[in-house]
C-alpha cells in the first residue's frame, strides 16, 4: 500500500509530456511594439521585421503595410 501510494505520488509530481517552464515575463504582450530584428532566411538573405511590415502585403499590392505572424518553434528538425 505504501509502495502504491509512493508510486502515485511520483506520478503526480512528474511533469506532463510537453510541459514547458513557467511562462516568460519578458515576452512581448498585446499592445507592445514587437522588437525589431534581422535574421537570415533559407536563401541566406537577411530579412528585417520592420522592412517586412513597411513593405507591400503579399497578394495585396493595394494595401499599404503588411501584417506579420511570427511563429517561434522548437526546431531540431
Partner 1 sequence: MRSIQQKNAEITERGVRVVAISVDPVETTRAHIEKQGFTYTFLSDVPMEVIKKYDLLHAAGFKGNDIARPAEFLVDPTGKVRWANLTENYRVRAKGEEILKVLDELGVKASADETVTVER
Separation of alpha carbons 75 and 77, rounded Å: 5
Of 2 and 22, the one with the shorter C-beta distance to partner 1 is 22
Residues 6+ apart with CB under 8 A from 16: none
Candidate residues 6, 7, 28, 51; the one interacting with partner 1 per rule CB under 8 A: 28
Shortest CB 20 distance to partner 1, Å: 5
Using the rule CB under 8 A, is 69 a contact of partner 1?
yes
Using the rule CB under 8 A, is 13 a contact of partner 1?
no
Yes or no: say if 48 and 36 are a contact pair by the CB < 8 Å rule: yes
**Residue 52 CA: distances (Å) to CA of 6, 7, 55, 67, 68:** 55, 53, 5, 8, 8
Using the rule CB under 8 A, is 4 a contact of partner 1?
no
Residue ranges in contact with partner 1 by CB under 8 A: 16-37, 39-44, 47, 49-50, 52-54, 57-60, 62-77
Amino acid at each position: 500500500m505504501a509502495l502504491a501510494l509512493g508510486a502515485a505520488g511520483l506520478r503526480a509530481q512528474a511533469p506532463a509530456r510537453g510541459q514547458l517552464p513557467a511562462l516568460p515575463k519578458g515576452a512581448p504582450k498585446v499592445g507592445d511594439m514587437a522588437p525589431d530584428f534581422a535574421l537570415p532566411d533559407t536563401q541566406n538573405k537577411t530579412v528585417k521585421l520592420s522592412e517586412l511590415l513597411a513593405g507591400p502585403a503579399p497578394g495585396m499590392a493595394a494595401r499599404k503595410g503588411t501584417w506579420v505572424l511570427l511563429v517561434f518553434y522548437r526546431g531540431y528538425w
